[in-house]
Amino acid sequence: MAGAGRGEGKGPMVGKLESQIYCMKYTLFCFNVVMWLFGVSIFALCLWICIEPGFNEWMRILELQKYFIGIYIILIASLGIMVVAFLGCGSALMENVMLLYFYIATQIAIFVFGLVGACVVLDFSTYDSSIQPLIKDVIMRLMNNPQHEGSREILRMVQEGIGCCGADGPMDYINLNKPLPAECRDSVTGNAYFHGCVDELTWYLEGKTGWLAGIVLASCMISVVNAVMSMVLIQAVKKEEDEATMYK
C-alpha cells in the first residue's frame, strides 16, 4: 500500500515504484470521474428520448418501437457506468487487488453492453439502416389506405410535421395514380417537398441519437483504458508487495 513513511530505507527502486503507483491510481481515479459524468449524460439523454412529449406517440403510431431496443440497452449500461465508476475510484485508492480484478470484469461488461447498445441504436436510426424499410412499409400502407380516416390523419401529420412527401418522394403519389395532397407542398412556395418521409424521418432520428451514440462509444473507449490501467496497477501493487517482503 502506498502511504506515509513507506519506502524508507528500501532503496531508490521501491521509491520509484511507489511514485508510479501513486500516479497510476490517481489517473485511474480521474478517468472514473470522467466515466461517471459520461454515465450521467448518457442516462439523461436516454431518459429525454424515452419521455420526450410527442416522440413516443409518433414512434408508436408509425410502429417503430424497435428503435427503443438500443436505447433501453444503453440506459441499463449507463446505470452500470455510474455505479462502477464509484467502485473504480475506491478500488484504485485502496489498491485492493481483488476489487481491481472485479472492476476489470465490470469494465469488460460495460464495453460489451455499450457497444451492443450503440450498434443497435445506429442500426435503427441512421441513413441506409434497418429502420428505413420499416418506415417505408408503414408510409406505403398509409398511402394505400386513404379511405381509412385514421390512416389519412397519420399520413397528414407526418408529411406536414416533418416536411416530406410520400415514402421516397412525390413520385410515389404519381405512381399510385393519386393526387398530391396539400400537406405535400411547402406552405410558402407551393412546391412539392423533394424528399420522401423515409429519408426525412431517418435524418430526424440521426440528429436525435447521434450525440448519444458518440458519448456511448467514447465511454467504451475509456472502459478499455480503465481496464488496462487497472491491470498495470495490479501488477505494480503485486511487485511492490514482493519487494516489501524481500526487504523484511
Chain segment 186-195, per-residue pLDDT in tens: 888 888 899 9
Higher pLDDT, 237 or 14: 237
pTM above 0.85, yes or no: no
The answer to whether 108 touches 101, Cβ cutoff 8 Å, is: no
pLDDT tens column, 147-178: 888 888 888 888 888 889 999 999 999 888 88
The C-alpha atoms of residue 189 and residue 37 are separated, in whole angstroms, by 46
pLDDT tens column, 87-113: 888 888 888 889 899 999 999 999 999
Which of 197, 151, 204, 148 has the alpha carbon at shortest distance from 172?
A: 197
Number of C-beta neighbours around residue 17 at 10 A: 20
CATH 1.10.1450.10 fits 133-197, yes or no: yes
The answer to whether 31 touches 110, Cβ cutoff 8 Å, is: no
Q: What is the pLDDT of residue 8?
A: 47
The percent of residues in the chain predicted with pLDDT above 70, rounded, is 92
pLDDT surpassing 50 at residue 205: yes
- What value does the mean pLDDT of the chain take? 86
Mean pLDDT over 21-27 rounds to 87
Domain ranges of the chain: 13-127+214-246, 133-197
226: pLDDT confidence band, cut at 50, 70 and 90? very high
Which of 159, 162, 154 has the alpha carbon at shortest distance from 206?
A: 162
Three-state DSSP string of the chain: CCCCCCCCCCCHHHHHHHHHHHHHHHHHHHHHHHHHHHHHHHHHHHHHHHHCCCHHHHHHHCCCCCHHHHHHHHHHHHHHHHHHHHHHHHHHHHCCHHHHHHHHHHHHHHHHHHHHHHHHHHHCCCCCCCHHHHHHHHHHHHHCCCCCHHHHHHHHHHHHHHCCCCCCCCHHHHHCCCCCCHHHECCCCCCECCCCHHHHHHHHHHHHHHHHHHHHHHHHHHHHHHHHHHHHHHHHHHHHHHHHHHCC
11: pLDDT confidence band, cut at 50, 70 and 90? low
Higher pLDDT, 126 or 107: 107
Sign of CA dihedral 204, 206, 209, 214: negative
Mean pLDDT over 3-16 rounds to 52
136: pLDDT confidence band, cut at 50, 70 and 90? very high
Farthest-apart Cα atoms in the chain, separation: 93
Cell of 25: 491510481
Q: What is the pLDDT of residue 15?
A: 67
Cell of 125: 436510426
Q: What is the pLDDT of residue 112?
A: 94
> Lowest-pLDDT range, 14-28, 55-69, 113-127?
14-28
Q: Is 201 exposed, middle or buried (0-12, 13-18, 19+ CB in 10 A)?
A: buried
7: pLDDT confidence band, cut at 50, 70 and 90? very low
pLDDT surpassing 80 at residue 247: no
Higher pLDDT, 16 or 4: 16
Q: What is the pLDDT of residue 72?
A: 93
